[in-house]
Amino acid sequence: MINASTFSTSTLKKIALTGYFGLLLFMPLWLLILNPSNGLSPTLSLVFFTLPLIFPLKGLLQGNPYTYAWSNFVVMIYFLHSLTTLWVSSQDTAWALIELSFATLMFIGGTYYAKFKGQELGLSIREKKVK
């Protein structure tokens, strides 16, 4: 279990950003240069696998805990892609493991950064009002 004293929020932010920028750089490299797909055009590959990562960029760089929290929904695309690739394509195992590693770094770092930075800032999840 990770607690607030295990890692500083700056360390967690660095872990999340390492995963984020790793995905942002690795996905086009893999899909366009290392092992281009015969079925998808290069333009569609770029759109499908890099465009979702562009949306949280500003908030991640600014250190917004809310952005770190919701960007985990985006990173699920890369978890699913890597796990599916591991399951169906033995020749892409190494590439899928790299993608899974970056996605895991982003997910774990982002989750704990959002939690602990939110606590530092006094943010909380509002409780539902009962009528």
Say how far apart CA 99 and CA 95 lie, in whole Å.
6
Q: Model confidence over 49-104: pLDDT tens digits?
A: 999 999 999 999 999 999 999 999 999 999 999 999 999 999 999 999 999 999 99
Q: How confident is the model at residue 125 (pLDDT cuts 50, 70, 90)?
A: low
- Examine the pLDDT at 24 and tell me if it is beyond 70: yes
Q: How confident is the model at residue 4 (pLDDT cuts 50, 70, 90)?
A: low
Mean pLDDT of the chain: 91
Q: What is the pLDDT of residue 124?
A: 73
